[in-house]
């Protein structure tokens, strides 16, 4: 009886460990459980969010030559996304105008990945989750077209950049004026100190002269 109890306990721990391992290996996605790559996933069975859209990107978003090739667009967009959201993530709060503007590149990266037959469905689902989270910043619906999101992010980012530059310029101007006023006050104080020093010297001379007169008398 004791051996049976020990066996049951060991079996329980074994099953528990196996279940934990299986849960850890469970993929955190929905469509990837049925389709591994985009080439395996028929277009007619995909939600609109996972269908590639041919976009006429803003003229100043990509170099003209880059627009001829989807892979070049994705590469450039991926570089911008990596720089802004990974390498410079500590400055996202400070440079919100750049974060909004570069969110357009995130949209471009996701959209151009949908044009690759060998793209991983699991990776695309994870990218979409991140994309939808970023869209919330401008209240862009998850089911909105990529082109709509790109233009909203790009236009808003440019506008915010102009405001940021203007505010920075105004602060610099105010600081310069403040420094000029401070310089004037410092000069006035220095002149006053000199005047006080001269007055003290003159007073001492006058006192010495009066003392000499008294002695002579």
What does DSSP assign to residue 115? Answer: T
Question: Whole-model pTM?
Answer: 0.67
Contact 109, 81 (CB under 8 A): yes
- Inform me whether the pLDDT recorded for 177 exceeds 80: no
Average pLDDT, whole number, for the chain? 80
At residue 28's C-alpha, the angle toward residues 22 and 31, to 5°, is 115
In 3D space, the residue among 107, 118, 49, 37 whose CA is nearest the CA of residue 78 turns out to be: 107
Query: What CA–CA distance (Å, rounded) separates 10 from 3?
Result: 11
Tell me the per-residue pLDDT of 109-151, one tens digit each, with 9 for 90 and over: 999 999 999 999 999 999 999 999 999 988 999 999 999 999 9
- Please, are residues 146 and 112 in contact by the beta-carbon 8 Å criterion? no
CA distances from 88 to 85, 96, 97, 127, 133 (A): 6, 12, 13, 19, 18
Which residue, 47, 27, 49, 32, is CA-closest to 135? 49
Q: Is the pLDDT of residue 40 over 80?
A: yes
Per domain, the residue ranges of the chain are: 28-172
Mean pLDDT is lowest, of 13-22, 88-97, 190-199, for 13-22
């Amino acid at each position: 009886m004791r051996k049976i109890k020990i066996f049951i306990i060991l079996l329980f721990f074994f099953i528990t460990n196996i279940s934990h391992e299986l849960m850890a290996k469970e993929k955190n996605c929905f469509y990837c459980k049925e389709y591994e790559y985009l080439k395996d996933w028929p277009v007619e069975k995909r939600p609109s969010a996972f269908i590639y859209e041919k976009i006429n990107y803003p003229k100043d978003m990509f170099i003209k030559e880059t627009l001829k090739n989807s892979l070049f667009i994705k590469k450039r967009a991926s570089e911008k996304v990596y720089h802004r959201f990974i390498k410079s993530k500590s400055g996202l709060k400070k440079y919100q105008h750049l974060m909004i503007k570069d969110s357009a590149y995130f949209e471009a990266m996701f959209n151009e990945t949908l044009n690759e037959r060998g793209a991983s469905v699991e990776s695309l689902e994870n990218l979409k989750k991140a994309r939808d989270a970023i869209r919330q910043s401008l209240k862009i619906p998850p089911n909105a077209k990529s082109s709509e999101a790109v233009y909203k992010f790009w236009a808003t980012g440019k506008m915010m950049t102009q405001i940021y530059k203007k505010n920075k310029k105004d602060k610099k101007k105010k600081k310069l004026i403040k420094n000029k006023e401070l310089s004037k006050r410092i000069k006035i104080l220095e002149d006053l100190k000199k005047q006080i020093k001269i007055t003290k010297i003159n007073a001492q001379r006058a006192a010495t002269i009066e003392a000499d007169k008294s002695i002579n008398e």
